[in-house]
Chains A and B, each alone.
Chain A
Amino acid sequence: MSGNVTSKQLLDHYARKVYADAAAAKAVGKPVGWSTAIVPQEFFETMDLPLVYPENHSAVISARKRALGFLERAEGYGYHADVCGYMRVNFGYLLEGARGDDDVPPAPVPDFVVCCNNYCTMIVKWYENLAKELGVPLFMIDMPYNPEGAVDEARVRYIRAQFDRLVGRLEDLTGRPFDRERFRRVMEISRENARLWKRAFELVGHVPSPANGFDFYNYLTLMVFMRGRAETTEVLRLWIREMEGKIARGEGPFRDAAEKFRIMFDGIACWPQLAHTAKAFRSYGINITGSNYPDGWAVQYETGDLDGMARAYASIANNMSLEKAVEKRVEIIRQGRCDGAVYHMNRSCKVMDFTTYEAQRRVFAETGVPYITFDGDQADPRVFVAAQFDTRIQALVEMMEAREESER
């Protein structure tokens, strides 16, 4: 694509194409997989095996306000309303016949599923159930939690051996040999995309920020779906150029208002109430300039270094100790030059929630940046209470103003 296309338009184009391509592959009898979001996609890209990501699929459905029907379907089947909303939407979608429409992307029923538990534990149960219910093979890539905040050698050896095993299983699945040369190229592209993704975040940290609100959650789609592809490099480069242009012109995130406050948004977006939360932020001139969430996809390693790759994938912030979680957030707040922090107590995501209270106390002690917590969910619209959110944001604004005042 060329001409005056914006990175956003290009992103939308590719995001749609991913589902269409998977459906087309399925139609001609090519195996299609479903995968967790931060999987070593390099292996599948190399083997030219299309992957669809149920978490992204559920997020899209939730943002388009279609989750409730699927949630209720899964709950009727026996899934407790306490478990992950993405998972319930996903099973609801399957139970409803896995059909797409204008709001629901047409994710084809998979021929295999891929699970990597480097940011979530319960996801193993999700994928076990998919494998059993659909009668398809499950490629489990286990990356044990790092309670001491470091990926030790025993873990690296274990993960490396799983990579080798995976290659063999993929060769069996496709009947084709694993192309090492192509693998190197995919690693190179993935590495470049991770570098660009990090670079984009540095630009988001500029004052005023060239990025707007939940912008980077949109670009994240690319990092989930196409981290190993040149198309992603194209979009990220364009996005970076656009942001550099805005910085050069001194333009902020909002057309009609100044960027008054900058915050770190901790956790996944509250997709069903995206419009409400974005509008509330904007009404106070609040912009999001940092988040722990997109950071997970900046997987960095040297091309050809499989041990490094194992270590990088196992070092996702969710898979590390409380101390590392605090360190990461302090870094995000500093890089994003944040005035405040908003912690989403996301009912679905126990990994992110269960150390939030202690983490936020420590982050505050280190940065002095005021924070609030609100209750919501990444998929289930029944959890969020608008009045609570609005009141807490108002309180945060007052705290940020008071801090600004005292520092003057």
Chain B
Amino acid sequence: MSGENRIRAILTGLAAVAARPGEAAERLKREKGKPLVGVLPYYAPEEIVHAAGMLPVGVWGGTADASMAGHYFPPFACPLVKSTLDLALRGVYDGLAAMIVPALCESLTFFGQNFRAARPGIPFVPVVHPQNRRTPEGVAYLRAEYERVRDRLAEIAGREVTAADLDRAIGVFNDHRRAMRAFLEEAPRHPSLVSPRVRHAVAKSAYYMDKADHGALVGELTGLLKSLPEESGAGKRVVVTGIMAEPEGLLDLFEEVGLEISADDLAQESRAFRTDVPDGGDPLERLARRWSLVEGCSLAFDPGKERNRILLDLVRNSGARGLVVLMIQFCDPEEMDYPLYRKELDAAGVPVLHLEVEPRMSLEQARTRLQSFAEMI
């Protein structure tokens, strides 16, 4: 198989996983013969799941009608947790061995409580991160939270989770993050092979595959891409920021109007891969220290608002002409960051497009706005 054909084959495989996460998760369970644990956003210690001999799968909601969730959430709740709860009520997650729910925003915190009430049969494993995350006491507290998560998962898996298991899992996840970062850096040089939709599919598929398998495929993919000459892209480069680049079809519009994604600051994509677990010592403490190292995320306490600078650097260093904000509806943390980074980007002369997104949004309106933005920059 030629390099380019192999690239297409890998991308087609990953796109299929991203397009049908439910089926991919079923297949994963069958092929690996391991229990699956659902993991909600953000910064959950997935390594512990892996170390316990189970496999983490991402839970990021869906686009189906979320009417059943209205029994628990008012209309102005975050669509991600609302659609997730709806899927839970429809029994979609009943096959999971547990559900890990971080509490980094109000939507997730109370999703956890509602989920436990609605689906008491699925073990609920909450994890509450500290906000004073860079102090020794913050790290010690998070280590204790992770210890509780480890003990709970060990109980569910019916086996011990040793420090060696955790160290091995951390190695797998750090390798995977490195592979993802290398891919995301290489991708903008090949816009005809890696369109915005394909780029997203590579990242998203990571949530529904074994990280070791996914990392190996992405590593191979990046190697093959590097052997190809850099394309002189015809499109205009932009950076995207927000929680996630969905619903499906949204990214096709980028391609349609001639926008290429040079870098992202999405919680589901780069923010998840940006920070490694540091080296040295007790594995649970290393996992906790990863949270101290996270920078520029709306969910992580940041009185210096590093995100403003990070976004500006991303735009400048990736040769982008502007920033597209994919603002998921009713997302307080993202909505609260917006005015401040917007002010700094405006001052630096970087064009910004603010696009409100939700699962059942009108793509027509988004097309018009992206079109005029593409013409303007």
Residues of A participating in the B interface, judged by any CB pair closer than 8 Å: 77-80, 82-84, 117, 120-122, 124-129, 131-133, 138, 140, 142, 144-148, 152, 154-155, 157-158, 161-162, 165, 321-322, 345, 347, 350-351, 353-358
Contact = CB atoms under 8 A, between A and B. Distances in A.
A147 B305 contact: no
Interface string B164-196: 000000000000000000000000000000000
Interface in B332-350: 332-333, 335-340, 342-343
A322 B126 CA distance: 13
B23 interface: no
Interface string B300-342: 0111110000000000000000000001011011011111101
Nearest to B112: A147
Given A122-B333, A154-B144, A357 B132 contact: no
A144 B303 contact: no
Contact of B332 (A83, A140, A147, A353): A83
A76 to B, nearest CB: 10
9 contacts: A80-B327, A82-B332, A83-B336, A125-B333, A129-B340, A132-B304, A142-B130, A154-B141, A161-B136
B137 A132 contact: no
B103 interface: yes
Contacts of A142: 130-132, 138, 301
B110 A351 contact: yes
Given A121-B106, A128-B305, A347-B76, A157 B340 contact: no
A262 B298 CA distance: 43
Contacts of B336: 79, 83, 122, 125-126, 128-129
B63 interface: no
B303 A138 contact: yes
A314 B44 CA distance: 23
A165 B333 contact: no
B34 interface: no
B213 to A, nearest CB: 33
Contacts of A124: 131, 301
Nearest to A142: B131
B335 A354 contact: no
A82 B304 CA distance: 24
B98 to A, nearest CB: 14
A355 B110 contact: yes
Interface of B: 71-74, 76-77, 103, 105-107, 109-114, 116-117, 126, 128-132, 135-138, 140-141, 144-145, 298, 301-305, 327, 329-330, 332-333, 335-340, 342-343
B128 to A, nearest CB: 4
Contacts of A154: 140-141, 144-145
Contact of A140 (B116, B303, B337): B303
B21 to A, nearest CB: 25
Given A129-B305, A155-B141, A354-B113, 9 more contacts: A125-B298, A131-B303, A140-B301, A142-B130, A146-B128, A154-B140, A322-B116, A322-B117, A351-B106
Given A78-B338, A122-B105, A128-B305, A145 B128 contact: yes
Given A82-B330, A140-B303, A354 B73 contact: yes
Interface of B is mostly: helix
B126 A79 contact: no
Contacts of A79: 335-336, 339
B354 to A, nearest CB: 8
B369 to A, nearest CB: 17
B128 A147 contact: yes
Contact of A354 (B77, B130, B337): B77
Nearest to A346: B74
A121 to B, nearest CB: 5
Given A121-B106, A132-B340, A154-B141, A357 B71 contact: yes
Contacts of A152: 144
Contacts of B304: 132
Contact of B131 (A77, A120, A140, A165): A140
A54 to B, nearest CB: 15
A357 B72 contact: yes
Contacts of A84: 332
A117 B131 contact: yes
A35 B336 CA distance: 18
A149 to B, nearest CB: 10
A307 to B, nearest CB: 14
A155 B141 CA distance: 7
B77 A350 contact: yes
A28 B303 CA distance: 28
Contact of A161 (B73, B128, B135, B329): B135
A322 B337 contact: no
Contacts of A77: 339
Contacts of B333: 122, 125
Given A128-B302, A351-B110, A144 B76 contact: no
A405 B38 CA distance: 50
Nearest to A154: B144
A82 B338 contact: no
Contacts of A129: 305, 336, 339-340
A78 B117 contact: no
B332 A125 contact: yes
A374 B343 CA distance: 37
B335 A82 contact: yes
* In the complex, the 3 A-B pairs of residues with the closest C-beta atoms, listed nearest first: A78-B339, A154-B144, A354-B110
